[in-house]
Amino acid sequence: MILAPLGCTSVKEETTDSNKPRYGMVFDQNKCVGCGECKEACNKANNLPEGKSRMLLEQQSGGVEGQVCPHCGKSSCDCQRKYVRVSCQQCQNAPCVTVCPTGAAHRDPETGIVTMDASKCAGCKYCIAACPYDARYINKETDVADNCDFCLHSKLAKGELPACVQQCRYDALIFGDLNDPNSYVSRLLAVKDAVRIKAHFGTEPSLRYIPVVKLGV
Ligand code: SF4
Ligand code: SF4
Ligand code: SF4
């Protein structure tokens, strides 16, 4: 039995015709222990103000209806806690980019990653209202909207992986080019059941989630 994050849709990997990369990230719910080190690494790498973050870890309640935990015997317990990464989904059809009147929220022409040009942001919050994933916020120190851009400027530009991926000691985060059939992320998704969150909105998110598998259920 698969415990999927809420609002998820199974997906067969699609590739675009473009020769350009399409960067994506996989969050493996089976491996995440909820340590929060990815979030701390993100805040540090991207110099975010206190109390704001480009990503959250949402805790899902433990237990499966009608079942007791094999470890403690309770129907709902801490030992079965699971986590879901909540962050920008790097939509291929990104409403935040469509509604932005100034071009501040835009797609990087080289990588296709949805990112920000801080110098153009008017702070109108249209992009925040348009994002169906509640993944954007205004940085109070700069009055500029912000989203997870896979550390485009802080890490990828230097040839490094996103800070969260580098930090995770449990291999719960995998990053790479979904358009490259030989990339690790593509080969992983070819053999694992993965889902996208709120795919019915038609935004074509680039994050994939490998949900918890309960063996023997
Ligand atoms: S660092 Fe890895 S294991 Fe820890 S919360 Fe983040 S994704 Fe989960
Ligand atoms: S998840 Fe929200 S912020 Fe990220 S690309 Fe999609 S609409 Fe934009
Ligand atoms: S807050 Fe900034 S990025 Fe968002 S829509 Fe307004 S100008 Fe564009």
Is 135 a member of any domain? no
Is 99 a member of any domain? no
Is 153 a member of any domain? yes
What CA–CA distance (Å, rounded) separates 152 from 124? 23
Predicted local distance difference test score (pLDDT) of residue 67: 62
User: Can you give the CATH number for the domain in which 21 is found?
Assistant: 3.30.70.20
100 Cβ below 6 A of ligand 3:
yes
Long-range Cβ contacts of 200-204 (<8 Å, 24+ apart): 200/9, 201/132, 202/93, 203/89, 203/91, 203/92, 203/93, 203/94, 203/95, 203/132, 204/91, 204/92, 204/93
Residue pointed to by tokens 């909105």: 201
Predicted local distance difference test score (pLDDT) of residue 72: 67
What CA–CA distance (Å, rounded) separates 202 from 192? 23
Express each pLDDT in 182-207 by its tens digit: 999 999 999 999 999 999 999 999 99
Predicted local distance difference test score (pLDDT) of residue 63: 57
Structural domain of residue 176, as residue ranges?
A: 2-91+147-213
Mark the ranges of the chain whose per-residue pLDDT is less than 50. Answer: 1-4, 6, 12-13, 15, 17, 217
Is 33 a member of any domain? yes
Residue 15's identity, in one-letter code, is T
Is 101 a member of any domain? no
The count of domains in the chain is 1
Mutation test of ligand 3: which of 99, 116, 117, 121 has the most ligand atoms closer than 8 Å to its C-beta? 121
